[in-house]
A and B are shown apart, each in its own frame.
Chain A
Amino acid sequence: MASVKLKNVYKKYPGGVTAVSDFSLDIEDKEFIVLVGPSGCGKTTTLRMIAGLEEITEGEVYIGDKFVNDVAPKDRDIAMVFQSYALYPHMTVFDNMAFGLKLRKTPKDQIKKRVHEAARILEIEHLLDRKPKALSGGQRQRVALGRAIVREPKVFLMDEPLSNLDAKLRVQMRTEISKLHQKLQTTIIYVTHDQTEALTMASRIVVMKDGFIQQVDSPQALYERPDNLFVAGFIGSPQMNFINVVAEKQGNDIYLKFGGNSVKLTEGKAKKLESTDYVGKEMIMGIRPEDIHDEAAYIETMPDAVIDAEVEVVEMLGSETLLYMTIDGSTSNLIAKVNPRTKARTGDKIKIAFDANKIHLFDKDTERTIMN
C-alpha cells in the first residue's frame, strides 16, 4: 500500500507535441483515483509515466516516499491491467498469473498459494489450466486482474480495463472491481473515457483535457459543482444543457434572458451574481436534463422559471424519458430527463420549468464557473 505523488509532471514528445502539462496530484494510500477525459487528453500517458513505461520529460513522480522517475517498471512495485488484457497466449492462466512471481524467484509453494487465493477471489479457479484463447472476454479480464493481484503490489494501475467488454459485463465487472478495492485496500489508479465508470467507482476523479487537469474532486462534487464548462459538459449523461444568456436586473430580482424567454434566479444566486460584475453581461447558463421539468404541478410552483419549447424527439428509456426540444426564439437545443409518464409527444409545444436552484453560470470567454 502506498501513496502516489506527481509534481509538475510534463510529457513532451519529439516534434513539439505536449501530451501532459503541469500535472500535479497527491494520491492518498488506498484511494481509488480515476483519470477521465476524452481521447488524447493525456490520461493514459500519465498512467504510463507512473508505470515507468513512458519517460517523464519534466517533473517528479513518487510512489510511497520513493522518487521513481528513473526506476524501471519492475522495481516500482506496481501492477498494471491493460485494455487488451495482454495475457501471454502461450501460457496457461496459472502461468500467466504466476509469471511475475516466478521472475521474482518467489518460492513455488508461495506462488501456488497466492495464485489459488487470487483465483478464488476472482472465481476463476476452474480456469487455471486453460490458455487465454479458450476464455471469454470477461474471464480474460478476471485473469488480467488476477495477474495483478497475486503480485500484491503497492499500487494497481488500470488502463481502460473494461472497454473491451460488452455493456452488461462491463456493469458487472465495475461492481467487482469496486468490491475488490474494498477487499484489498490498495491504491488504484484507473483510466477511462467512460464517465459512468468514473462516477461509480472513484473516490476522487481527475478530469483531463488537452494534457491539463481540469478538476480533481469527488464524483458528487464534480457533478454538482463543476469548475468549468468542459467538466460540466463531460460529467453527466445526457450532458448538461448550455444556453447563452444575459443577466438583467429588474427591481430586486435578476433574470436570465435568452430568446424571448427569461428565468428568475433564486434570491441566493441573485445576491451572489450581484456581487460580481456579470449583471448585464452575456454568460452561459448550464442546467442538467434532470433539472428541467414538464409536470404541471412543478410548472405551477415555479412560474418565474417557465419557458416554451417544442418537442423534436421523445426517447423512452423505461425508467425515464428524454425529451429533445428547441426553445422558442433561441437557437439552443435542450434535453430534459422527465418522468416516463409524460404526455409530451414529438411536435408538441409544451411548457417546461427549470429548477432555478440548480442553474450553473459560466463565463463566456474563460469558460470558468461563475456560480454553481
Chain B
Amino acid sequence: MKTNRLKRNLAIFFTYFFVFCFIIFYMAPFFWMLLTSFQSQVNLTSIPPKIEFANWFENYRKLLNNDKFMLSLRNSIIVSLTTTILTLAFASMGAYAIARLNFKGKSFILFSNYSIQMGPAVAFLIPIFLIMRSLNLIDTLAGFIIAILVFTLPVSMWVLLGFFKSIPREMEEAGLIDGCKRFQIFLEIILPMSRPGLISAGIVTFILVWGELLIALPLTLSKSIPLTVFASSFSGIYFTDYGGAAASAILSALPTVIITLVFRNYLLKGLIEGAVKG
C-alpha cells in the first residue's frame, strides 16, 4: 500500500518535472524576446548585455510612431481577416461536396489537397510568383491573399471534412423532408452543426496567415508588406535593431497568442475531430 503511494507520487513528480522542463525549453526564447524588447540598443550591445528597465517602453513607442509599422499592421489585419473569411467560405463548400457528393475527380481533388499540405511551401513559390507577376498582382493585397489561399484552403478543408463526415446523413434527410433545398441544408443545418470545426479552421487559418513570411517576402515589396516582413527588416548588414525587432515580434505574436488562449478548446476539438474522422 505504502509502496504504491510512493510509486504514484514519484510518477506525478516526474511528470510535472518533465512538463516543467518542456515549458522552459519552449518558452525561454519567447521570454528572452520579451526581455530584449524592453532594452535599449546600448544595453543589448554591451558585453556582457545589461538588463535595465529605465526606459522600457521606448522600443514600443518608436514602433507605434512608425508609419511603416502601422501600414504593415493594417495590411496584416486585412489579409488575415479576408483570407480567413474566404478560406472558410470556400473550404466549407469544398469539404461538404467531398464529404457528401459523388463526382468525377473527387479523389484527385482529395489527393491534391493532401499533396499541398505535405509538399514544401517553397516548391510552390516560383510558380505562384510567376502567376502573380503575369496578373500584375505583385505588391498588392489581393495578390497576397490569392497566393496564401493556396495553402490555407487544404488545411481548413481537412479540418472541416472530418466534421462534415461525422454529421449523420439523417440530419440532412430530415432537412430534405422538412422542405430544405440542398444549399439550405448546408447553410441552415450543416454549418451551424459544424461551429466548432469552423471556429478551429478559422483560427488555424488566421494564425497561418498572420505568421506568413515565406510567400509574403517575394510577393510584397512596400505598400502591401505584412507585419512579418516589416519585422524582418530590422536586421541589416551593418546594423541590427535588436530591441525594435523584438518589440515588433512581440506585437506581431500577441493576437495569435490571445486567440489561441481564448479558443484553445475549440482548436483542440476541431483538430482532433479532423484527425480521427478525416
Q: Which positions in A face B, CB cutoff 8 Å?
A: 51-53, 72-74, 78-80, 82-84, 86-90, 99-100, 103-104, 147, 151
Contact = CB atoms under 8 A, between A and B. Distances in A.
B180 to A, nearest CB: 6
A74 B193 contact: no
A82 B193 contact: no
Contacts of A79: 177
B179 interface: yes
Interface in B166-216: 168, 170-171, 173-174, 176-180, 184, 189, 192-193, 195
A15 to B, nearest CB: 14
A86 B179 contact: no
B179 A78 contact: no
23 contacts: A51-B177, A52-B177, A53-B177, A72-B176, A73-B173, A73-B177, A74-B178, A78-B177, A79-B177, A80-B173, A82-B173, A83-B170, A84-B170, A86-B168, A86-B171, A86-B174, A90-B192, A100-B177, A100-B178, A103-B178, A103-B179, A103-B184, A104-B179
A72 B182 CA distance: 11
Given A84-B168, A88-B193, A90-B195, A74 B176 contact: yes
A74 B179 contact: yes
Contacts of B184: 103
Interface string B136-180: 000000000000000000000000000000001011011011111
Contact of B179 (A52, A83, A100): A100
Given A103-B178, A103-B180, A89 B173 contact: no
A89 B174 CA distance: 12
A82 B170 contact: yes
Contacts of B173: 51, 53, 73, 80, 82, 86
Contacts of A104: 179
A82 B168 CA distance: 11
* Dominant secondary structure at the A interface: loop
B77 to A, nearest CB: 30
A101 to B, nearest CB: 9
Interface residues of B, number: 15
Contacts of B180: 74, 103
A74 B177 contact: yes
Contact of B174 (A52, A72, A78, A82): A82
A182 B173 CA distance: 27
B266 to A, nearest CB: 15
Nearest to A53: B173
Contacts of B171: 86, 88
Contacts of B176: 52-53, 72-74
B199 to A, nearest CB: 14
B42 to A, nearest CB: 58
A84 B172 CA distance: 12
Nearest to B171: A86
A355 to B, nearest CB: 46
B122 to A, nearest CB: 42
Given A74-B176, A84-B170, A104-B179, 8 more contacts: A51-B173, A53-B177, A73-B177, A74-B178, A86-B171, A90-B195, A99-B178, A100-B178
B93 to A, nearest CB: 19
Nearest to A80: B177
Contacts of A86: 168, 170-171, 173-174
Nearest to B184: A103
A194 B235 CA distance: 76
Contacts of B174: 80, 82, 86-88, 147
A80 B195 CA distance: 26
Contacts of B195: 90
Most buried by A among B171, B174, B176, B193: B174
B185 to A, nearest CB: 11
Contacts of A51: 173, 177
The residue in A51, A83, A103 that gathers the most chain B C-beta atoms within 10 A of its C-beta is A103
A14 B193 CA distance: 32
A100 B174 CA distance: 9
A79 B179 CA distance: 10
A79 B173 CA distance: 11
A57 B184 CA distance: 27
A73 B170 CA distance: 13
B169 to A, nearest CB: 9
B187 to A, nearest CB: 12
B183 to A, nearest CB: 13
A73 B180 CA distance: 9
